[in-house]
């Protein structure tokens, strides 16, 4: 076959399919997007392809799915019964207080898995291949965050089921309860982008796993997840009240109608606002940082 039969970019035959000597259909080289609308459409399509990739990984490792379910259950049982037993209030009242905290804690602890999955990927040849292809630069990362949201949905469902079993429930109607769950997922999105950035920053899956825990643990302890900030020493209580996790926990306690220890600080009074503002701010910070970092992986 002569050379002139080939589609030679960037000519008018871009995006068409040429027939080669073998009779097989070989798609031509890919033209760049024409205009911002097509660029967006491609970014979404590529992100969806990457989401499917990550979900296929999960489907091929069922033991990992089991882990998704175990962690929330363990959290509720251990913290609900062990801590609940030592509280002045009755155990079941403490569990009402605790379950919203465990929702948030579970979201936070997903960061380790996100970061090490990204760090794992960053060291692999397949990501080089993505980067040498006409694939949206954000695709791998948005795909990762979408896959994480799917996981978070599963975890949340398990948490709701477990919560109901240990005596927790919502008191202000299904609408408010769903809104609360939406806030939980929003926080998860913020956690995911932070994790993605961390995973790209320290591209060694082992190191990342070790780094995340010492970050996550104090963040949980210094919040209103286990203990009301008013019970803490003054400055510690202030830190706990402004903790992004506390904002979400306080907001969903309010929406679920679970007992919180209403403080009169500004942060506690505006928990709902902060439960939206904090995650949005974190995403606005870490998503662009992560994409930039990803683009410079090769250097």
The residues of the shown chain that bind another protein, judged by CB under 8 A, are: 1-3, 6-10, 15, 17-18, 20-22, 24-32, 42, 45-46, 49, 52-53, 56-57, 60-61, 124-126, 128-135, 139, 296, 298-299
What is the chain written as a DSSP string? --GGGS--TTSTTTT-EEE-TTS-EEEPPPPPPSHHHHHHHHHHHHHHHHHHHHHHHHHT-HHHHHHHHHHHHHHHHIIIIIIHHTSSS-HHHHHHHHHHHHHHHHHHHHHHHHHHHHHHHHTSHHHHHHHTTT--TTHHHHHHHHHHHHHHHHHHHHHHHHHHHTT---SSHHHHHHHHHHHHHHHHHHHHHHHHHHHHHS--HHHHHHHHHHHHHHHHHTTTTTS-GGGS-HHHHHHHHHSHHHHHHHHHHHHHT-------SHHHHTHHHHHHHHHHHHHHHHHHHHHHHHHTTT-
Q: Please, which residue, 20 or 90, has the CB nearer to another protein?
A: 20
CB of 61 to another protein, least distance (A): 8
CB of 296 to another protein, least distance (A): 8
Residues forming beta bridges with residue 25, ordered by sequence position = 19
Minimum CB distance to another protein smaller for 264 or for 299: 299
CB of residue 208 vs another protein: minimum separation in angstroms? 19
Token code pair at residue 241: 């009240």
Nearer to another protein, 13 or 270 (CB): 13
- Residue 26 CB, nearest approach to another protein (Å): 5
Distance CA 3, CA 32 (A): 23
- Pick 50 or 108: Cβ nearer another protein: 50
End-to-end CA distance of the chain: 40
Q: How far is the CB of 14 from another protein (least distance, A)?
A: 9
Question: Closest CB to another protein among 130 and 193?
Answer: 130
Least distance to another protein from the beta carbon of 45, Å?
8
Burial status of residue 136 (CB atoms within 10 A of its CB: 0-12, 13-18, 19 or more): buried
Contacts of residue 45, defined as CB under 8 A and 6 or more positions apart, other chains included, come to: none
Q: Compare residues 107 and 135 and give the one whose CB is closer to another protein.
A: 135
Q: Minimum distance from CB of 139 to another protein (Å)?
A: 8
* Residue 297: CB minimum distance to another protein, A: 8
Q: Are 267 and 246 in contact (CB under 8 A)?
A: yes
Give whichever of 88 and 132 is closer to another protein, judged by the CB atom. 132
Measured from the CB atom, the residue of 37 and 82 that comes closer to another protein is: 37
């Amino acid at each position: 076959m002569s050379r002139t039969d080939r589609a030679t970019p960037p000519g008018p035959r871009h995006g068409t399919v040429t027939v080669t000597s073998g009779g097989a259909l070989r798609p031509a080289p890919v033209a760049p997007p024409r205009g911002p609308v097509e660029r967006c459409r491609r970014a979404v399509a590529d992100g969806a392809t990457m989401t499917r990739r990550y979900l296929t990984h999960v489907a091929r490792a069922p033991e990992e799915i089991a882990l998704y379910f175990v962690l929330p259950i363990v959290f509720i049982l251990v913290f609900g019964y062990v801590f609940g037993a030592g509280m002045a209030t009755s155990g079941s009242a403490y569990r009402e207080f605790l379950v919203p905290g465990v929702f948030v804690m579970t979201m936070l602890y997903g960061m380790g898995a996100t970061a090490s999955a990204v760090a794992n990927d960053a060291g692999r040849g397949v990501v080089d291949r993505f980067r040498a292809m006409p694939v949206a630069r954000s695709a791998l990362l948005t795909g990762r965050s979408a896959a994480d949201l799917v996981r978070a949905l599963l975890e949340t469902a398990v948490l709701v089921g477990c919560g109901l079993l240990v005596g927790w429930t919502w008191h202000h109607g299904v609408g408010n309860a769903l809104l609360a769950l939406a806030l939980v997922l929003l926080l998860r999105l913020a956690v995911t982008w932070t994790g993605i950035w961390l995973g790209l920053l320290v591209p060694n899956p082992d190191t990342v796993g070790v780094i995340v825990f010492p970050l996550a643990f104090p963040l949980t302890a210094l919040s209103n997840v286990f203990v009301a900030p008013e019970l803490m020493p003054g400055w510690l209580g202030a830190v706990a009240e402004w903790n992004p996790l506390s904002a979400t926990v306080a907001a969903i306690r309010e929406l679920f109608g679970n007992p919180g220890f209403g403080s009169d600080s500004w942060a506690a009074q505006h928990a709902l606002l902060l439960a939206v503002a904090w995650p949005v701010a974190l995403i606005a910070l870490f998503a662009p940082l992560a994409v930039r970092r990803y683009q410079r992986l090769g250097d």
